[in-house]
Amino acid sequence: MFPMRAAPFGAVCVFLVASVAASPSPPPVKAAVEALWRDNPQVQAAEANLRAAHERASGAAQPFYNPSLQLEGENADVDRRTAGASLALDVTGKRKARIAESDADVRARTAELALARRDITLDWLKGWTGVALAHDQAALGRRRVELMQAFDALAAQRLKTGDISSPERDLAALALGEALVQQASLDTQEADARAALAITGTANAPNAANAANAQIVTTDLPPAATTIIPLSADERPDLLLARAAQDRADAAVTVADRARRPDPTISVTGGQVRSGPRTDRVIGVSVSMPLPVRDSGRYSVSAARAEADAAYASTRAAALRTDAQLVRAQATYTALRTASETFGKGRAGAFDERARLLEKLWQASEITTSDYLLQLKQSLDTAVSGIALQNQAWQAWFDYLAAAGRLPAWIDGTDKDTSP
């Protein structure tokens, strides 16, 4: 006997998602994701941009104009010594417009950070499911090699007793050689998957070993899509970013309009003037106003309005896109989950039973060696397809969480908005 056991799906992947049916993610996932955020350059860049936006907002809240100090001295027929100060008055609301623009920029940068964290987390989780797929396929390949080695040894014994012919013995040897070649390819694919995942930075990520120690290795599928209530479109990060960008563009129109409007400057001068033996104190007040006759600034306003129109169109496109992504992600996940669930319940998943039955039939010479190898190959291909199908269901689940706006809440373990 050399039965083939069915490979458990995704020890690594399941370690990440074992508790997903209850909605909150396992604590190791949250810790690993937080470590990933700290080390990922995209997230670091988004965090730096947000800090810069906060600093710009603090600067925008400061008074728009600074005062000017002027000192004058003159030695001639009349000696003059004066000091003056001037200050432009923000009567057109430049500071208020700048504050509105910077606040919108802070909201946009906050949404960008949320998107960066969501995207890198999604790539990371899907990367681990890819590693899990490669790992399980390689494990199944190793079982195939063991099976072919036992079959090759048994074929050699049966050749000596005259139960099979020499060509059938050669067929068993060729099957073993093919299995070894395919196993080398599967091992390479697993190494490539791990190398690709390492690029995102997963030094503290869980692995198959500690998953087994935690006794949470399972082949359960994620919950049905109906257990998750998607966030409203206005609450999803994609649309939050688009609306914040639109608000920023609208505020930029006001900033450009206020910039073209001149503000008055008030100057106060005081000092003394000496002419011969006489010395007089002087005080002067003046008001000046720039004249926007050569550059009225209207082109800057027109350009800002065009950019605001583009931002508005982008917001509408983002709303359509986020709704379409949600519908597609939900439909894809439901289809893959249903197919995987059906596969697991059907006869297609009875790998052990089929392998034992095929062996008995071959031992009893009821099927030829070529038929045995052909049917065994079909069984192995079916097993690989089942692993790939379940892996695709998990990846579709992550896509659905992201499209529904629930992935960050699942990572934090705070997603309680599940339907009854």
52-83 residue pLDDT tens: 999 999 999 999 999 999 998 888 777 888 89
Domain residue limits, the chain? 11-64+94-258+301-412
| C-alpha closest to that of 223 among 380, 18, 13, 9 | 18
Query: Which residue do the tokens 């470590």 mark?
Result: 35
With a cut of 90, say whether residue 301 has pLDDT above it.
yes
Which tokens belong to 341? 């669930």
pTM of the model: 0.76
pLDDT-based confidence at 285, cuts 50/70/90?
Answer: very high
**Mean pLDDT in residue range 323-341:** 92
The pLDDT, as a whole number, for residue 417 is: 44
With a cut of 70, say whether residue 248 has pLDDT above it.
yes
pLDDT tens, 94-140? 999 999 999 999 999 999 999 999 998 888 888 887 787 788 788 88
CA distances, 45 to each of 112, 125, 273 (Å): 10, 21, 60
The pLDDT, as a whole number, for residue 24 is: 44
Superfamily the domain 11-64+94-258+301-412 falls into = Outer membrane efflux proteins (OEP) (1.20.1600.10)
Q: To the nearest 5 percent, what fractions of the chain are helix, strand and coil?
A: 70, 10, 25
What percent of the chain clears pLDDT 90, i.e. is strictly above it?
34
The pLDDT, as a whole number, for residue 19 is: 35
pLDDT-based confidence at 202, cuts 50/70/90?
Answer: low
The pLDDT, as a whole number, for residue 352 is: 65
**Residue 389 · residue 9 · CB < 8 Å:** no
pLDDT tens, 15-52? 333 333 334 444 567 777 888 888 888 999 999 999 99
With a cut of 70, say whether residue 205 has pLDDT above it.
no
The pLDDT, as a whole number, for residue 404 is: 92
pLDDT tens, 372-390? 788 877 887 788 788 888 8
pLDDT-based confidence at 356, cuts 50/70/90?
Answer: confident
Reduce the DSSP state of residue 38 to 3 states and report it: helix
Contacts (Cβ under 8 Å, ≥6 apart) of 269: 70, 82, 83, 84, 282, 283, 284, 285, 286
With a cut of 60, say whether residue 163 has pLDDT above it.
yes
Instruction: Give the integer Cα–Cα distance in Å for 328 and 326.
Output: 5
Phi-psi map region of 282: left, alpha, beta (phi>0 left; psi -120 to 50 alpha): beta
With a cut of 80, say whether residue 420 has pLDDT above it.
no
What's the order of all strands across the beta sheet hosting 79-88? 68-74, 79-88, 265-275, 278-288
